[in-house]
Amino acid sequence: MTLRIFAFFALFAFFARAQSGTSAIYAQLFNQQAATGRSLIFVDVRNVGVTNHVVQWTTAGGPATCTLLVEKSTDAVSWSTESTQTCTTIGSVTLTDSTYMYLTVNLSALTGGTNPNITVTYRGYLPGQGIPVRPAEGGTGTVTIFSAGSIPFITTGGVYSQDNANLFWNAANKRLCLLSNTCVNTLDVGAGKFFVTPAGATTTAELTAKAGAAGNVAGTDQGYSGQTADLRQWKNSAGTVLARVTSAGIIQPDSGMSLTGRNRFSTVPIGAVAYGSMGTNKSLVAGTIYVCDVVILKNTTLTGIAVLNGATVGTDKWIVALYPSAGGTAVANSALAGTASSGADAFQQVAFTAPYAAIGPARYWIALQSNGTTDTIRTVAGSTFIDLLSTAVAGSFGTLPSLTPPTSFTADWGPIAWVY
């Protein structure tokens, strides 16, 4: 085992007396590996005016047991224990008795770990001097020089520390980095959870803003002057927008609303009235699609459209289709070969070729196409209902044309129908 001894003897006392009133007295008493015993170095503190006697130590190698006896003597021959310490990674003890003659340390236990080592130093401070290494005296507790951008924090024993990889201040750009040392924004939280909560609140959410009192607003999103982009968006893991608050403050669930209840939505209200007296008994132009808007209030799976037939049926064939709010190509349709009309002055259900998962609340467009001009359907007459839009688009039977959504209502063009 290695024992390194640093001797000062009486020269130390002379050196100490020669120091100015702002210099601390320093001696390294002990640096020893594995072996125990009293240091051969002692400090003569007679008549030097020192009032703060600080013994400091550090350990390395993770010893399981480390006991340090700080001893005093009047003749450097007979020693008595002044303080018994269980060594921590870094520690110190302050002795304030001004009657000491000599100080030394006795390592009574040092076991376990890998090549355990202890270093002990003495620091004596004159009246009015601080003890910069000890946190309790205004120091950092470590001799480590902090890096530029470090944000010091306190660890065990009051010792200052730094973690630039996870806590960093970019002074040049005035940015604070958490869980990273690379900042793009004023405050960056890299790949971690970020909580904004009052004291004592707990949450499993990645980001929580919780009001601390009943009269407090939990959070605010404020747009820029002339804001055109959404105020807020919610996306799935693939980046698809599921819901948003538009610049006008409209809550728009792009993925719809899942609600219980009705799943049939009609172009007009249908009540206790004879179907043969509803709307207009309309003769159709072959190949033309007749269109009316329908509002679907929730997410629902649709299998077809029920059309209110007119007084004449049984000759022509129908194709029904559902267009999205923006128009364009139909999102669902019945067989393009057509379904024979049946049931005068009654709703005829015409199935889609495949179910369609509609997202609501949203406006859609119901369309009907006939292959002939004989049979009739019931359409919305003029001045019967408000807030409806309708149109008719020429085409060829069996081919559904692209739809440009109408912006006005035209009597007798909109089918009376519902989705199911």
What tens digit of pLDDT does each residue of 113-143 get?
A: 888 888 888 877 766 665 555 565 566 777 5
Q: Is 267 exposed, middle or buried (CB count within 10 Å of its CB: 0-12, 13-18, 19+)?
A: buried
The predicted structure's pLDDT at residue 10: 32
Rounded to 5°, the CA angle 219-224-228 comes to: 105
The stretches in the chain having pLDDT less than 70 are 1-26, 34, 47-48, 89-92, 94, 96-100, 126-139, 143-144, 191-206
The predicted structure's pLDDT at residue 14: 30
Residues 95 and 64 in one domain: yes
Residue 359: name the closest of 303, 405, 420, 298 by CA. Answer: 298
Query: Is there a domain that residue 245 lies in?
Result: yes
The predicted structure's pLDDT at residue 184: 81
Helix and strand numbers, DSSP H then E, in the chain: 1, 32
The predicted structure's pLDDT at residue 25: 65
DSSP string, 381-395: PTTS-SS--EEEE--
CATH of the domain at 292: 2.60.120
Query: Is there a domain that residue 149 lies in?
Result: no
Last residue of a domain, one of 149, 183, 212: 212
The predicted structure's pLDDT at residue 204: 67
Domain count within the chain: 4
Identify any residues that bridge with 105 across adjacent strands, giving them in sequence order: 70
- Alpha-carbon gap, residue 141 to 152, rounded angstroms: 12
- Alpha-carbon gap, residue 152 to 159, rounded angstroms: 10
Residues 188 and 318 in one domain: no
The predicted structure's pLDDT at residue 357: 95
CB-based contacts of 105: which residues, under 8 Å, 6+ apart?
29, 30, 38, 39, 55, 57, 68, 69, 70, 71, 120
The predicted structure's pLDDT at residue 156: 81
Contact between residue 129 and residue 52 where contact means Cβ atoms under 8 Å apart: yes
Q: Answer whether the bond into residue 253 is a cis peptide, omega within 30°.
A: no
Residues 207 and 78 in one domain: no
- Alpha-carbon gap, residue 237 to 52, rounded angstroms: 62
Query: Is there a domain that residue 39 lies in?
Result: yes
Query: Is there a domain that residue 142 lies in?
Result: no
The predicted structure's pLDDT at residue 346: 97
What's the DSSP call for residue 314? Answer: S
Residues 70 and 22 in one domain: yes
- Alpha-carbon gap, residue 264 to 322, rounded angstroms: 14
Q: Give the chain's radius of gyration (CA, Å).
A: 43
What's the DSSP call for residue 262? Answer: -
Query: Which tokens go with 178?
Result: 């958490």
The predicted structure's pLDDT at residue 380: 96
Residues 60 and 97 in one domain: yes
Domain that holds residue 270: 265-419
- Alpha-carbon gap, residue 167 to 178, rounded angstroms: 5
Contact between residue 256 and residue 362 where contact means Cβ atoms under 8 Å apart: yes
Residue 291: name the closest of 369, 359, 362, 343 by CA. Answer: 369
